[in-house]
Structure 1
């Protein structure tokens, strides 16, 4: 049986970064499920200097019919060929406020399937501050947070497909294509990666390694890295209209420790460097982004 457990913390890790679970042959009518709680340290938004540590739920479920839920993404394996994996994929990209926060999405892994959404402008977050841009002097805003004065981007339910090809039983080429992100919902991403599925270091310890790059269209980059004329006046950032192309390149590693047949401790680190027009955005404070996560999961 070939399985791939990926620590996916709901509401924080973008779907393009998530590992699509490998095909897991199971008896008809059965399922394999992990539920737990984890913590992640990550930049407030792509390119931010400031980091935050957040506790978030952990979820991965696979059914014998090929359907799976992994964090805030879901899909279905359609291939019966052992070296090919492909099928539809949907994923929820959390909202981004002008503070870079997506804390309103804590504890909502099922929303990826339900397609729930939240208001995208003027929302009061948990700090008691409104997302509506204020009239604070632009120079002061830019010192504190380069997103200050920019318009929030609502949560987006993306749709697309995945296609993976196995070069060997433990090495696969991965492709995730998703559309529907950004302010106008026309943003699209294509993440291509090379992944070593699992390497056993000992009877209870496995390590997965991966390298990937993400290509985006102009609509995606203008939404998440662009600055409109109106936002420039409010924020103090120079107006910027990026095009599409290579957004980032990344390396990642995951370590799983099977504490017992039912309990697993999973940890991961992902280092990404922004590229091209995304890297040159006035919103970017640091091109290198490192995300570290760990979580304890129970297998039902």
Structure 2
């Protein structure tokens, strides 16, 4: 059944991917009408999240953010499909880096890098970074249920020496690379929601105490990797600029969770600046009422 679904769907995705950008975004507008206007995909979650973190915004402001968010979400969906056939030249034109020399500087100091980001702006085309660096690229992801689509996504990333790995593979693979003297640059989307009963750290995020993933910081300390945040700015439709900020070149000089907290603050700054580009369909605050049960037991 998985193969049948793949064989039926793949040609449709490929045809979308070869559309010129003008038509690609026209298709995105149609998808927006379906997702937002017709089906209301996770609209209750989006509105609930926005009201929670922006209690002082009025209904008109929240509606504007909601509509802009869904437009952006649909653009990201078609841009992900476009990754199947987009050329390196085109991607470099549309996804630029304001200070890639910061990554190169750390690389020249013979340090591997933990690259932290949030579900903000666009992260689909970040793997073009591999054309500017010498390090082997890894990104931690959740394996897709359909193994054929999973292989497709891996193939797309591998075009630029970037490889997807699941959580349980991360430490063994990165330890092996370190033992061989290989430099790696490793992407972590670090604003997901961990299970409250297994979280090591709770912190305020957009003013609300929630459990926080600390895996990126823990691995950086364990393997002595520099930690760098990348923020993405949407310049105009289909064009993005990424800026890197080094959080810790020597992570073991920092107290536990200090690096994670620095990361969260930068994510908050992005959201407050342009909230429509955050992934509001993500149930980031679903464990907010469980701090008394789990979080207070930890030293925060």
Between structures 1 and 2, the one with greater strand share: 1
Between structures 1 and 2, the one with greater helix share: 2
Relative contact order: is structure 1 or structure 2 higher (C-alpha 8 Å, sep ≥ 6)?
2
TM superposition score category, shorter chain reference: under 0.3
- TM-score (structure 2 length as normaliser): 0.26
